[in-house]
Chain A
Amino acid sequence: MLSVLVFALLPLLSFKTVPSHGPAKYPISWILSKACSLKVNGSTNINKFNCTIPDYPLPDTLTFSKEKNTASIRISGAMVLEVKNFDCHHPIMTADLRKTLKVKEFPKITVTFISLSKYPEHDNENITGTVTIQLAGATRRFEVDYRFTQQNDETLTLIGTKQVNFSDFNITPPRKLGGMIKTDNELSVEFILKARILK
């Protein structure tokens, strides 16, 4: 009898329950918090670097609205970040990245959120979406993998990851000493959205 009960309860016990924010009523607005960040990981032939814009001072809003007859969600809103706030945890690498991203000509990175495959509702849910990234004067559209987590009723986290190339933005990866030290073209970009729902 006990084993039957345990067996019956097992599916319930094996999933973390998430505080629900109820049935979605569109449009839904998320207020981005200061804890939003952007990380860039890359490498040269002599080292790896990881650079972060660790916080986000602008109280921007993302608005989610439903596409007709599909699960996909349209988003309006963007993150606008200052290139000068990149910190690579090494002053020389920090200065070089800012120069590479042409901070004087193009001081901002803009991530514009276009759509999601579905509205995130469950903890550790993986979804996909579309963004445009404007960097160094070039704007490119990317498909992004997201992971959604919800710490409590208030704080929502959406982590988007994407492999991009310097060349996508018409940037030549830095090369020093006649090309003996070369930066790899590929970069891993991760943007972490921390938000709460506007009620």
Chain B
Amino acid sequence: MKKIILPALLAGTLLFILSYSVLYFGIRCFPELFMDYNSPLFNSDGNRDALFYMHPFIISFALSWFWDRFKGLFKGNFLLRGLEFGFVYGIVALLPVMWITFSALDISILMVLSWFFYGFAQALTAGLLFAKINP
């Protein structure tokens, strides 16, 4: 259990800093890419902000459990194992979810692709960290 919780907390903290830094500077540097978020599709009254900011920890705990359960399947040095873990998450989880999201919601392909790569980068980062601290 300790092998799951500690890496999850570390990964959650790292992803929190990285993800929201990228988002913060992305919004300021490329505001036109974020215009579509003014849609009523997105929550606008702030009552779910806490849930929004918990996301890095939710994904980190899920990925930490997944890593601990299946880490034996990933071979090679920590870099290779971390990257493969990120790819597995991208193909198994992100791709189908983004596919159905794009097919069902009136959102742009650019927005869906940005979510895909955002999640993929999170999984790669978490994978590299898990491979290093929980080999």
CB pair B36–A92 under 8 Å, yes or no, is yes
Known interface pairs A175-B46, A179-B46, A180-B24; A93-B38 also in contact (CB < 8 Å)? yes
At the interface, yes or no: A99 with Cβ under 8 Å from chain B? yes
**Contact residues in A for B46 (Cβ distance below 8 Å):** 172, 175, 179
Residues of B within 8 A of A (CB): 20, 23-24, 27, 31-32, 34-40, 42-46, 49, 52-53
B76 shortest CB reach to chain A, Å: 37
**Contact residues in A for B24 (Cβ distance below 8 Å):** 180
CB pair A177–B35 under 8 Å, yes or no, is no
Report Cα–Cα, A100/B43, bound state, in Å: 11
Residue of B nearest to A175 (CB): B46
Residue of B nearest to A172 (CB): B45
At the interface, yes or no: A198 with Cβ under 8 Å from chain B? no
Report Cα–Cα, A176/B40, bound state, in Å: 10
| Overall SS of chain B's interface | helix
Q: List 15 A-B contacts (CB under 8 A).
A: A44-B38, A46-B31, A46-B34, A46-B35, A47-B32, A47-B38, A96-B39, A99-B40, A100-B44, A172-B45, A174-B38, A175-B44, A177-B34, A177-B42, A180-B24
Known interface pairs A175-B46, A179-B46, A180-B27; A96-B38 also in contact (CB < 8 Å)? yes
Report Cα–Cα, A180/B25, bound state, in Å: 10
From 55 to 109 in chain A, residues with beta carbon under 8 angstroms from any chain B beta carbon are 90, 92-93, 95-96, 98-100
CB pair A178–B44 under 8 Å, yes or no, is no
A146 shortest CB reach to chain B, Å: 32
- Cross-interface CB contact of A176 among B20, B31, B42, cutoff 8 Å: B42
